[in-house]
Structure 1
């Protein structure tokens, strides 16, 4: 009975919104049929073009060096805008547009203009600082180190660590058949949007603690709401689930919105049980978080708007492009409802106050964005058989003269917004027309002139004179680009590049690891004494374990990929590093030291044989390592001698580190002491892997210094992660027992700093390592992804 009441109430709310959408559509329909929008918009465009049609002068021939760079070159583009004096206008229209679209503001408000100018000043200051200081190829907020540095300034490090882990988990669970980059982009965009919403509502009177609390809540709310895009909208739009699975999944979502409680998953009848279990768990937590953070007076509005959004999406989703009898109302009413409610939900989620006219503006504005987005995605939607006003018109416009032209309706919406919603405000006209022309320019650039002209021949043929004016603006108008589009392009490019680099990183590890594994086995010459044969067998036993081989892999990548050394020439160096590392593990595991029972998923050497054999095997491997280094005969003898001397020094450092570690057992160490121990135990080995190939390549001292700095922080981050895994890891994944430090009463980063403090320490060294990379004269993607692997690994 309760469910039925809730359903009745939700349906009533939907019908009310539907009636409003029908009235809005009827008004737009009349404008399109009567073409009354043409006269008004022609006048608007004639006024608008004065600021956007620039006639070239002969002086421009002499200023070729100042020409507009490709916007994909983010920092050069921002610098060009600043140099040419265009940055202020660029940011003005960009920020104004966000205030209209996302915040539902009217631009004729003095308070709104004051806020816009304040945001513009802040963004401009940030852009000019970042373009002069940042050497990376993307904005700071698109790299993890930049985001973490921001979190430190705001006092929300733990929150950002939480959301970084969440985003990584979501990324790993997006299945094939869905656009992973777009899904991540939408989720990140929503999080950033909610953060901006909340920051907009705060002023200088808000205390630092309260600011941190609100930002923490904004990030969690943004993630919780943003999850609906990849795991509801995108999932249901994809072809991943069967019809039956989609019905079952949709029923579960609908029930949650109607009852305010997420139902149990129950028996899932499809083939994607593991994926759905993960999604159900994440969405359940997200739903509860949003619900718990709603004010009592906004909770009902949130559920109603969410139901309107989901139900209108559902109606649209089940449309079939082969069905030829959809009415105009059936095509457009759900579009109006879903586009408006999606904006209204966002404000409801954060409980933001509504100023007068907010709901009206937001309701009428939504379809403008939706029609622009559908136009941009028309080719893809047509290929996938999706029903949108554009795809449906493309398929049936020759058969059905009653169909309203969505492109004409789009201009009708623009006219309605300018004159009916924003009361012919000049600023609103400027921003809306800027955005419209920018959308057409971007579409033309993306699909090419031929395809663009073909589409315009279909959609813009109803009023030739007005169309000629539009096409002239598309061809000649300038200064209509937007910052959010720049960031969108940058984010998509970054996510795609990052995904490709990550794939290359793991492929490289897999391929090089196999090559190294084939090179490590120590052969037994014919006729050697039995005792030496046993020693070699013991060494090979330790070498054959399931080792990650990160150190020699790192050396191979630096030597071959970065410095261009011959792969076969550095094989002895790769062997020596793994022999040294394996020897150190054998010594670490001895009863007199760490007394470990398993290593690399197998029994430790002293357990298989005895401590004496293990000690002798470790010494044997060290001597083999020196012998391998001395056989680097394709390099300058003086360089090889320097490398051996450096290697001996690093071996001494590692011995000292292990001695320091043993001496510290049962003692309470300071953070500084622990950093020193773990660098000498772990960091020096990473340093050697980076520096040795650089020495063979005779790299500059400044580059070697940067590599050493990177290795120092990478080594500490690696050890902190080890300590975290010792507390939270899985023995089956790690290949060694967990909780050893706790059982042995040894100081580690978790015992000194606590779990949260250790996480912060790891991310601090992550940032320092990534910042050291920027000092290198080359962009080494492998090292960036190695750092990501180190802090995100589960073994």
Structure 2
């Protein structure tokens, strides 16, 4: 038995669940070893090469044009990195249907273990591809399947609405945000999010495929809701088990203890107590303690959720397969690249087990039934994907010192002539799948060879032709005739692209750009806020020294609180980032916005209105001084705001006057909003009235911060209308988040007592709609505001980050 075996000390007592799990691993290991022996025999005997040469002879009829046809076909396709243009070109060229059906067919093979010659599978593929096409070309209409472009939060939520699982999607968005925030330095947050979303989509797809049009809507929603939560719970292991154990963040000793904790949970069904985890990581001096505490909490919650959904408890197929998968991963992870004695079983058996295991678990996590061959096809198929991925990552893995069949062959081939080239093994797997697993089905051959040639085309483009050919000279040295055929296809074949690769590239690019833009946005927020803070204090130059200076001191006290300065910061960004106005010319406008906003807060806090004791983390003005001082300070700030607007220089006088007129009108509306709010105290409000009050109290201010700088920039009317739409929905979303924080938040974070709205008898979105309804309403407005952003010029797209901040802030 190879070193991959799990051995049991016969003298050591073992419970039935643990015995069953370890027996499952041994069975899987024997099966993988038998599969490996067949592959090696095929490769050594070169029988696979003759079969594939014939396959390529038939395959190339569809993919390789005679040279006169290539000469006359005209211009090529646009760069596929231009996502939207590329897809519309595919449609114009009549290629999109085939492209999407090929792509969906591949996903049905890989993720669902389907046989492509099955009539039901063919029908489902066509239906899914048609729905995907409608979504791609519709310009933002709701998607028919779960979107996997996770940077588009609005698309995810709208899909949830369509399926009646908004609460699950809201839950997932919040969870994904927390995961992203807790990805440690050295690991890629984009890759973690992509993997996690991919796993969730996979579990959802399995669940969806178990239903049809006869499934009652309520049952469909229940099962998809559960699938989202199960997918997240299972997918969480990728960033916080696999990636963490593959990283250098933990010491070898910590990795050993961490693996033991995970293994123990799988075998016992119990999450180890925090004390056990704390002890396992105390040797690092607490360096990773906050991260590990979060992981313990999140993984523990996920584990218990999955366990609660397994009909047979720890005896379920999920836990059996999860143990096999984890042991294969752990065995593979322990290998050392410098070790020169690994045999083929040690190199390939864990790879076969882990590559098939991830898809087997994705199906079993939701307890879907067997579909007559799924498990067999998936078991044999997995290594096809794994070897393709390992080929693509060869040089990165070498740099990281990771052991894969490719890195091990690359390092030791000179001293180990017995080693089989993993590139030959890859083609041996393809030949085995075509004939022994999929019974020579022509369309399956089409999809498998399309995928293989596409992978080599991408490598050739990524590495450059000289390095690619150098790589082929090493890896394909034992298969010269077949390799000549393959490389001819790589150079000449067309129409082998796959949508999931396009989406993956776009998703990673967009996520990276989104993160960079978000970080830049936050940096700008901080920088602009600091500039505004420094400019706000009103100088004490009163003509009535004692009283005047005292009043100015009171106004400055209110201005000096820990305010977010969101309104002037937003106006600054719209003006400078959105319309290219000079920052220096805007200072009077920014100061006026904060003066007017602070004045409104002073009046709101008075005993005659909200009667608040705390604002911006400290005493309200009337409790620090007295009611009269607060009222007069508020009036003083209003006049200071008007004065600052009159100081705007470098703009047409009529534009400034129009702006001041607009500002006064918005101030009137704010007063009306507060009056509406006061009159509504103690009354049960309708949602319509609540929206009205919210817009006049909050949305009007957001609108002013967008419209006033746009007015100075002479923006066209259509943009002003879109900005007004954004402000309306963003303002209400902001207020709903405020209400949620008041109901659920902590006073220390909020800067004011939590539960104040309830104490005042105020109707809020939470009291009217409940917590769940308020969250759904917030995301409804989020989506409508996001629609407006998509129609605005690129320079104003930063408003998306503002929107994310408004609905995901913690204070």
Give the TM-score range, shorter chain: over 0.9
User: Is 1:129 equivalent to 2:141 in the alignment?
Assistant: no
In structure 1, which of residues 3, 6, 9 is the aligned counterpart of residue 20 of structure 2?
9
Structure 1's 41 and 786: CA in aligned 2 closer, same or farther, altered over 3 A?
A: same
Alignment correspondent of 2:427: 411
Task: Summarize the alignment of residues 352-501 of structure 1 with structure 2, pairs less than 5 Å apart.
Answer: 352-501=368-517
Q: Is the 8 A contact 2:331 2:350 kept in 1?
A: yes
Q: CA deviation at 1:7?
A: 3.3
Alignment correspondent of 1:86: 95
Task: Summarize the alignment of residues 621-700 of structure 1 with structure 2, pairs less than 5 Å apart.
Answer: 621-700=637-716
- Which piece of structure 1 moves more, 431-440 or 142-151? 142-151
Deviations 1:703-750 (A, max 9, x none): 111111111111111111111111111111111111111111111111
Task: Summarize the alignment of residues 725-740 of structure 1 with structure 2, pairs less than 5 Å apart.
Answer: 725-740=741-756
Alignment correspondent of 2:105: 96
Alignment correspondent of 1:721: 737
Alignment correspondent of 2:47: 36
Alignment correspondent of 1:46: 57
Deviations 1:166-186 (A, max 9, x none): 111111111111111111100
Alignment correspondent of 1:296: 312
Q: Is the 8 A contact 1:687 1:711 kept in 2?
A: yes
Structure 1 SS opposite 2:701? helix
**Alpha-carbon separation, structure 1, partners of 2:591 and 2:67:** 65
**Alpha-carbon separation, structure 2, partners of 1:669 and 1:264:** 47
Structure 2 SS opposite 1:320? coil
Q: CA deviation at 1:57?
A: 4.7
Structure 1's 277 and 3: CA in aligned 2 closer, same or farther, altered over 3 A?
A: farther
Q: CA deviation at 1:533?
A: 1.1
Deviations 1:580-630 (A, max 9, x none): 011111111111111111111111111111111111111001101101000
**Alpha-carbon separation, structure 1, partners of 2:614 and 2:698:** 19
**Alpha-carbon separation, structure 2, partners of 1:241 and 1:531:** 63
Q: Is the 8 A contact 2:615 2:752 kept in 1?
A: yes
User: Is 1:161 equivalent to 2:177 in the alignment?
Assistant: no
Q: Is the 8 A contact 1:576 1:629 kept in 2?
A: yes
**Alpha-carbon separation, structure 2, partners of 1:711 and 1:676:** 13
- Which piece of structure 1 moves more, 364-373 or 349-358? 349-358
**Alpha-carbon separation, structure 2, partners of 1:303 and 1:38:** 39
Q: Is the 8 A contact 1:596 1:604 kept in 2?
A: yes
Q: Is the 8 A contact 1:501 1:781 kept in 2?
A: no
User: Is 1:280 equivalent to 2:332 in the alignment?
Assistant: no
**Alpha-carbon separation, structure 1, partners of 2:482 and 2:86:** 33
Q: Is the 8 A contact 1:3 1:259 kept in 2?
A: no
**Alpha-carbon separation, structure 2, partners of 1:681 and 1:2:** 69
Structure 1's 526 and 102: CA in aligned 2 closer, same or farther, altered over 3 A?
A: closer
Structure 1's 262 and 35: CA in aligned 2 closer, same or farther, altered over 3 A?
A: same
**Alpha-carbon separation, structure 1, partners of 2:594 and 2:803:** 20
In structure 1, which of residues 522, 547, 557 is the aligned counterpart of residue 538 of structure 2?
522
**Alpha-carbon separation, structure 2, partners of 1:229 and 1:551:** 40
**Alpha-carbon separation, structure 1, partners of 2:353 and 2:273:** 29
Alignment correspondent of 2:7: none
Structure 1's 529 and 496: CA in aligned 2 closer, same or farther, altered over 3 A?
A: same
- Which piece of structure 1 moves more, 505-514 or 149-158? 149-158
- Residues matched between the structures, number: 790
Structure 2 SS opposite 1:668? coil
Q: CA deviation at 1:471?
A: 1.0
Deviations 1:621-667 (A, max 9, x none): 11011010001121110100000000110111111111111111111
- Which piece of structure 1 moves more, 117-126 or 632-641? 117-126
Q: TM-score normalized by structure 1?
A: 0.96
The alignment's C-alpha RMSD in Å is 1.9
Deviations 1:369-398 (A, max 9, x none): 111111111111111000101111111111
**Alpha-carbon separation, structure 2, partners of 1:35 and 1:118:** 40
**Alpha-carbon separation, structure 1, partners of 2:582 and 2:696:** 30
Structure 1's 58 and 472: CA in aligned 2 closer, same or farther, altered over 3 A?
A: closer
- Which piece of structure 1 moves more, 783-792 or 359-368? 359-368
Q: TM-score normalized by structure 2?
A: 0.95
Deviations 1:305-345 (A, max 9, x none): 11111001101111111111111211111111111222211
Structure 2 SS opposite 1:350? coil
Task: Summarize the alignment of residues 23-422 of structure 1 with structure 2, pairs less than 5 Å apart.
Answer: 23-55=34-66, 57=68, 63-64=74-75, 67-130=76-139, 142-267=151-276, 268-269=278-279, 270=281, 271=286, 272-296=288-312, 299-422=315-438
Q: CA deviation at 1:78?
A: 1.6
Q: CA deviation at 1:139?
A: 8.1
Q: Is the 8 A contact 1:38 1:466 kept in 2?
A: yes
Q: Is the 8 A contact 1:102 1:343 kept in 2?
A: yes
Structure 2 SS opposite 1:472? helix
Q: Tell me, which stretches of 5 or more residues in structure 2 are unaligned?
A: 1-11
**Alpha-carbon separation, structure 2, partners of 1:482 and 1:299:** 39
Structure 1's 140 and 39: CA in aligned 2 closer, same or farther, altered over 3 A?
A: closer
Structure 1's 60 and 472: CA in aligned 2 closer, same or farther, altered over 3 A?
A: closer
In structure 1, which of residues 493, 507, 525 is the aligned counterpart of residue 523 of structure 2?
507
**Alpha-carbon separation, structure 1, partners of 2:784 and 2:315:** 43
Q: Tell me, which stretches of 5 or more residues in structure 1 are unaligned?
A: none
Deviations 1:139-194 (A, max 9, x none): 87641111212222211111111111111111111111111111110000011111
Q: CA deviation at 1:88?
A: 1.9
Deviations 1:61-88 (A, max 9, x none): 6843xx3122222222221111111122
**Alpha-carbon separation, structure 1, partners of 2:393 and 2:520:** 30
Q: CA deviation at 1:275?
A: 1.5
Q: Is the 8 A contact 2:588 2:645 kept in 1?
A: yes
- Which piece of structure 1 moves more, 571-580 or 460-469? 460-469
**Alpha-carbon separation, structure 2, partners of 1:143 and 1:399:** 51
**Alpha-carbon separation, structure 2, partners of 1:689 and 1:142:** 26
Q: Is the 8 A contact 1:580 1:622 kept in 2?
A: yes
Alignment correspondent of 2:801: 785
- Which piece of structure 1 moves more, 778-787 or 489-498? 778-787
Q: CA deviation at 1:567?
A: 0.7
**Alpha-carbon separation, structure 1, partners of 2:73 and 2:444:** 36
Q: CA deviation at 1:300?
A: 3.0
Alignment correspondent of 1:709: 725
Alignment correspondent of 1:764: 780
